[in-house]
Amino acid sequence: MGNAHGHRKHCNHGVITSPPTNAHSPFHKYPQSARDSQTSSSTPNMESLPYAHVEKSLYIVRNTSIGSAFQFIGESLNLYFVFIVDDGPGSLRFGCRKKEPLWIIFEVSGTIHLSTYLSVSSYKTIDGRGQRIKLTGKGLRLKECEHVIVCNLEFEGGRGHDVDGIQIKPNSKHIWIDRCSLRDYDDGLIDITRGSTDITISRCYFAQHDKTMLIGADPSHVGDRCIRVTIHHCFFDGTRQRHPRVRFAQVHLYNNYTRNWGIYAVCASVESQIFSQFNIYEAGQKKLAFKYLTEKAADKEEPSSGCIWSDGDLFVSGTQSGLLAATAAHSLFHPSQHYTAWTVEPPSDSLKQILQHCTGCQNIPRPADQPLVP
């Protein structure tokens, strides 16, 4: 994880505990982000976030992710330059469909209006650093691919049935979505389904949306028992529900800030296992953070819900956790079963300020060791 930061704790094959306390701000549907009106003088230092060293170099990004996606295979990637069109040579779509490993970067800032889903093939890094890139109309589809990084992009205004900002299905693995801003799609912002696994979502900003993130689409999809996802240092800013909603999967949530939800913060459905660690939950009008839904897996006789373990989470200003005790029928994973170390810090006001201002797509210069021209 990130380099040294005050009061951080390192988890290494063990559980860290700290006493949870007890959040408020009025809920509005799709509120304007308070951070949109902040000046740069009030912005915390982005060095406080994990992966700060990544911003100083191009090639250090791969093999950096901590969490479910950490097993990246080092590849010699050729550079591919995008000039902001939807299709044809020089477009993002053209680069993403090529079969060879590519590091995709952008020569100019702008908005790419996608007329159809943009499919991403294996061994691609889509790197928005150095420019301001917004995708609209449709989203990215990561279908049967592996070893993909998507970083420092904006997703806004996706329209149409089943249109997600980032759709990861089926059978994709080793995916890292880092420092993206996502809002206002007709379906989900990020959906992870159909046997896709080993995925990390980090430093992302979610706003102006209803069904934010779905992990495991349907109780009939029993193959989703393989799904493992890590979500950390993300800011869910007034999104209505699904932060995430989980079926079958094992999900590790840590050091996220979720506020002002409209229904619930996190939902555990059929056979899901959610390890919620040192997160901040700040309710608006709806006070319940954790919700359980009972469904019947296609290969089982009896319906069941999922299980949530809360370790050191902060519930403030009247937020009710809604946490239920695990029963003998529930098994719960521990993240150390899948990765050996990660870094957490206390769910404090300092962490909240950092996540409010430093998550999502940022004005980050192109790393010095990256060529400036093709």
Give the Cα separation of 87 and 95 in Å (integer): 9
Sequence-ordered list of residues with C-beta below 8 angstroms from that of 150, at least 6 positions apart, any chain: 120, 126, 140, 166, 175, 176, 177, 178, 180
63 secondary structure, DSSP code: T
CA dihedral sign, ordered 85, 75, 193, 200: negative
Give the Cα separation of 290 and 95 in Å (integer): 41
193 touches 186 (CB < 8 A): no
Q: Which residues pair with 17 in a beta bridge?
A: none
CB atoms within 10 A of CB 362: 19
Give the Cα separation of 248 and 271 in Å (integer): 5
Annotated active-site residue 242? The verdict is yes
Q: Which of 84, 73, 46, 83 lies closest to 178, judged by CA?
A: 46
Residue found under tokens 């159809």: 116
Exposed / middle / buried, residue 250 (Cβ in 10 Å: 0-12, 13-18, 19+): buried
The CA angle 48-197-127, to the nearest 5 degrees, is 50
Which is catalytic among the residues 62, 242, 245, 247? 242
Q: What token pair was written down for 17?
A: 């505990």
CB atoms within 10 A of CB 17: 10
Residue found under tokens 């170099």: 57
Q: Which residues pair with 28 in a beta bridge?
A: none
What positions carry a catalytic annotation?
242
